[in-house]
Amino acid sequence: MLVKRGGNTPIISFELLHQIFNLIHSQVITEAKNSLIYPRLTLLTKRLSIDGCLKINR
Protein backbone atom coordinates (compact mmCIF):
# COMPACT_ATOMS: atom_id res chain seq x y z
CA MET A 1 0.00 0.00 0.00
CA LEU A 2 3.04 2.27 -0.05
CA VAL A 3 3.98 4.39 -3.02
CA LYS A 4 7.54 5.58 -3.60
CA ARG A 5 8.07 9.14 -4.72
CA GLY A 6 11.36 10.84 -5.50
CA GLY A 7 13.87 8.38 -4.11
CA ASN A 8 13.67 6.12 -1.08
CA THR A 9 11.01 8.00 0.86
CA PRO A 10 7.82 5.91 1.04
CA ILE A 11 4.52 7.75 1.27
CA ILE A 12 1.13 6.34 2.18
CA SER A 13 -1.19 5.91 -0.79
CA PHE A 14 -4.28 8.09 -0.96
CA GLU A 15 -6.59 5.07 -0.70
CA LEU A 16 -5.04 4.03 2.62
CA LEU A 17 -5.15 7.61 3.89
CA HIS A 18 -8.81 7.82 2.94
CA GLN A 19 -9.61 4.59 4.80
CA ILE A 20 -7.80 5.83 7.91
CA PHE A 21 -9.59 9.17 7.73
CA ASN A 22 -12.99 7.51 7.33
CA LEU A 23 -12.27 5.26 10.31
CA ILE A 24 -11.31 8.23 12.48
CA HIS A 25 -14.25 10.29 11.26
CA SER A 26 -16.95 7.66 11.71
CA GLN A 27 -15.87 6.08 14.99
CA VAL A 28 -14.15 8.83 16.94
CA ILE A 29 -15.44 12.23 15.87
CA THR A 30 -19.08 11.19 16.10
CA GLU A 31 -18.62 10.08 19.71
CA ALA A 32 -16.36 12.96 20.71
CA LYS A 33 -18.36 15.77 19.12
CA ASN A 34 -19.91 16.97 22.37
CA SER A 35 -16.87 16.36 24.53
CA LEU A 36 -13.83 18.47 25.30
CA ILE A 37 -11.68 16.26 23.08
CA TYR A 38 -13.33 17.42 19.86
CA PRO A 39 -11.47 20.72 19.27
CA ARG A 40 -8.13 19.00 19.84
CA LEU A 41 -9.15 16.10 17.61
CA THR A 42 -10.08 18.53 14.86
CA LEU A 43 -6.71 20.26 15.10
CA LEU A 44 -4.93 16.91 15.06
CA THR A 45 -6.83 15.76 11.98
CA LYS A 46 -6.09 19.04 10.22
CA ARG A 47 -2.43 18.61 11.10
CA LEU A 48 -2.49 15.09 9.65
CA SER A 49 -4.08 16.35 6.44
CA ILE A 50 -1.89 16.02 3.37
CA ASP A 51 -2.17 18.66 0.64
CA GLY A 52 -5.49 19.78 2.13
CA CYS A 53 -7.43 16.82 0.75
CA LEU A 54 -8.55 15.47 4.13
CA LYS A 55 -9.46 18.69 5.92
CA ILE A 56 -12.54 18.68 8.10
CA ASN A 57 -15.18 21.19 7.12
CA ARG A 58 -16.62 22.87 10.18
Instruction: Report the Cα 37 to chain-centroid distance in Å.
Output: 16
Over 60: is that where the pLDDT of 15 sits?
A: yes
Distance CA 25, CA 56 (A): 9
Q: Does any domain span residue 6?
A: no
Q: Does any domain span residue 8?
A: no
Q: Does any domain span residue 29?
A: yes
How many domains is the chain partitioned into structurally?
A: 1
Distance CA 25, CA 41 (A): 10
pTM of the model: 0.31
Q: Does any domain span residue 9?
A: no
Domain of residue 38: give its range: 14-57
Q: What is the pLDDT of residues 31-56, one digit of tens each?
A: 766 666 666 666 766 666 654 554 54
